[in-house]
Each structure stands twice: as structure tokens, then as C-alpha cells.
Amino acid sequence: MAKHRGRGIASVNYPIGMNLGGDPSQALVHSNPSGKFTVSLSSIDLGQGMKSVTRQICAETLGVPVEDVYVDTADSDTGPHCMGSFASRGTHRVGNAVMAAAKEARGVMMEAAAEELEVNAADLDTDGRGNIHVKGAPHRSISTKDVAIAAQFKQGKTISGRGIFLVPLSEVNPETGEMSPATCYAHACLVAEVEVDDETGEVAMVRMDSAYELGRALNPRLVEQQLVGGAWMGISHALFETPEPYYPDPAHGPRDFVEYLMPGPGDICPHDIAVLERPAADGPFGAKGPGEMCANPVLPAVANAIFNAVGVRMDELPITPEKVLRAIKAQGGARPQARR
């Protein structure tokens, strides 16, 4: 009876978004008379940073400080349509829609500023600090607040923009089954090291090393946060969580958090992450999205690591101690594989 260490690897080629009848999202951007901007979305921020990243995209496109942009995701009844926060599509689809809306709003803002400064809008630029000035002549400037006030009360213009981003439906070729479900792909590779106890069947995470290629990381701290948290979900799916432990028999299903197991703070392991940035041609500022891919490579890497450690191929999730122990017994004991 012993504890065996093993290492496993998995790679992921991950489509950004989905394609079931086309994949659109809309955004609306408008300025208030205060010169602050509101982005209206129906896209939901469930902690992944949708509001932060769309705020950044809007501010960058408008050429105003990020503090001057507010993102409202309050109500899908009244907001512009969004397919939803899933399939790792948020940054890419919604980000592109926000960018389009902000571009249109910026056009109106520059026209309004041009009227106030009595110049051609093409000769104007933003300084990113809340001012619009004549190119090459920074002293010939007007604040975005004064432009907003002039547009509202003098010119009778709405500084606003509409945006939609649509990945059109890709029909499946009935002969070959071919289709193009996504316009860009993110990639990941993860190595997991585990320790398997051949007496109890328990699998303990030892460490993980990963590399993620996800286009441009628009907010690197949020990307890191998603990757760290997502890898934990991967561990949880690989080793702990299930509503039906003896599927299809519903017996012994968990009824609460005491029975529905998830890794606690003592079950995690050191995880070294490298983020590689290869901007996507059709992503907002080159972004794709980390999303679901954070969790995906952990599962096969852990299963491969268990094979490397004790020689059993686990093909049902979660890989519970009971399953590992039965598999080891069935093959007549642990058979550690060559370490690579």
C-alpha cells in the first residue's frame, strides 16, 4: 500500500462563442449632459468582469477616462438584446458590440465638438483625459462635459451610438458534417501532478502548470482571476462534484452543501500560469476570452495523471476514491507508469 505520484497533460482548442441560429449581441452607448457615458447591456456580469471589460472597451473607443463610463446591465426586459453570458462569448461578442456603439457615439461627439470649436471634425482628437482638441494644437480644446452640454442644450443632438455584433449562422454541410461554429479559437495546455493513494483511492492535487492563449488580455488581473478560479472548478469537476453519483440511478444524490462535495481551501495546489497573447483579428482590441476554457483542460490532465500514477484509465466523472479503488482492484493492484 503506497501513494503514487503521476503527471498528466491536456491541450484544448476552444471555440469562442457558439453558433445555434447565429450569435448576436447588442449594445447602446449614450452620454448624459454631465459628459459621462452609459453603456446599456442585457449581458450579465456574474463576477467574471463583464462590466469592467466593457467599460474599458467603451472608454478606450470613445477616448475618455474609464471613470467617465458607467455600464448598466440591469434588465434584459428593457436593455438591448444579448444571447447571454456563456460559451466564453462575453468579451468577444459583447465587447465588439460595445466597440461599434462607442464608435458611433464618438462620431457624434466629435461632430458636436467640431461645431463648438468651429473646425472640421476630422481635425479633432481626444486626449483620453476628458478633452477634445485640434490635432497638433492641444490648447484649442473643449472638455467632453462642455461638448455634452452643448449637444444637449444648444445643438439638440444625442451623443449616442448603437452597436451589434453578429456571428451569422453557419449551416452544417449535410454530406460532411462540416461547419464553422466560431470565428476564433483560444488555446490552453495544462500539466497536472497528482498523488494517488492505492489503499483509499483518494487523489490529491500536487501542482498544476498551465499556459493559456486567449487573444489580448484586456484586463490581465481579471484574466488571472478567472484562470485561477476556473482551474479550481476543473479540479472540482474532475474529482468531487456530481448531482448523481450512481447515474443513471438517482440514489445517494446529494441534497445540500454538506453532501455535494467541492474542494475546500485545503484541497487546492500551487498553480503556475503563463498567459500568451495572440490578438484575434476580429476580437475587440484583439481579445478572445478565457471563460469556460479555464476549467476544461484540468479534467483530462487529472485523468491522465491518475493513469500515469497507478495505471488505471478513469473514463467517468467525477473520479471519486471509490471508482479509483475499484479500478485498481480490477487490474490487480497499482501499476505506476513511466514518469515523463
Partner 1 sequence: MTKTPLQFRHNGRDVALFVDGGVNLLVALRELIGDMTPKFGCGQGGCGACSVLIDGELHLSCLTLAETVNGRAVETLDGLKDGPNLHPLQRAFMEQFAAQCGYCTPGMLMAAKALLDRNPSPTRAEVVEAISGNICRCTGYEPIINAVLAAATSGRARA
Closest separation between CB of residue 141 and partner 1, Å? 34
Cβ atoms of residues 192 and 305 within 8 Å: yes
The answer to the question of residue 225 lying near partner 1 (CB under 8 A) is yes
Integer Cα distance of 172 and 179 in angstroms: 5
Instruction: Give yes or no for a contact between 98 and 54, defined as CB atoms under 8 angstroms apart.
Output: yes
Q: Name the residue type at position 236.
A: S
Element (H, E) at 71: strand 69-72
Cell of 86: 456563456
State which amino acid sits at residue 230: G
In the complex with partner 1, the residue whose CB is nearer, 73 or 308, is: 73
Pick one of 90, 230, 245, 311: the residue that binds partner 1 (CB under 8 A). Answer: 230
Is the previous residue joined to 290 through a cis bond, with omega within 30 degrees of 0? no
- Pairwise CA distance, residues 237 & 223, whole Å: 21
Which residue's CB is nearer to partner 1, number 230 or number 289? 230
Does 221 contact partner 1 by CB under 8 A? Answer: yes
Give the nearest distance from C-beta 48 to partner 1 in angstroms: 7
Cβ 222 to partner 1, closest distance in Å? 7
Nearer to partner 1, 119 or 262 (CB): 262
Determine if 18 is a binding residue for partner 1 (CB under 8 A): no
Residue 228 binding partner 1, by CB under 8 A: yes
Quote the CA–CA distance of 322 and 81 in Å, as a whole number. 46
What CA–CA distance (Å, rounded) separates 93 from 16?
9
**Is 273 one of the binding residues for partner 1 (CB under 8 A)?**
no
- The answer to whether the beta carbons of residues 112 and 155 sit under 8 Å apart is yes
Instruction: Decide if residue 48 touches partner 1 (CB under 8 A).
Output: yes
**Pattern 250-269, partner 1, x by CB under 8 A:** ------xxx---x-xxx-x-
Number of residues in contact with partner 1 under rule CB under 8 A: 22
User: Minimum CB separation from partner 1 for residue 258, in Å?
Assistant: 4
Binding site for partner 1 (CB under 8 A): 46-48, 221-222, 224-225, 228-233, 256-258, 262, 264-266, 268, 271
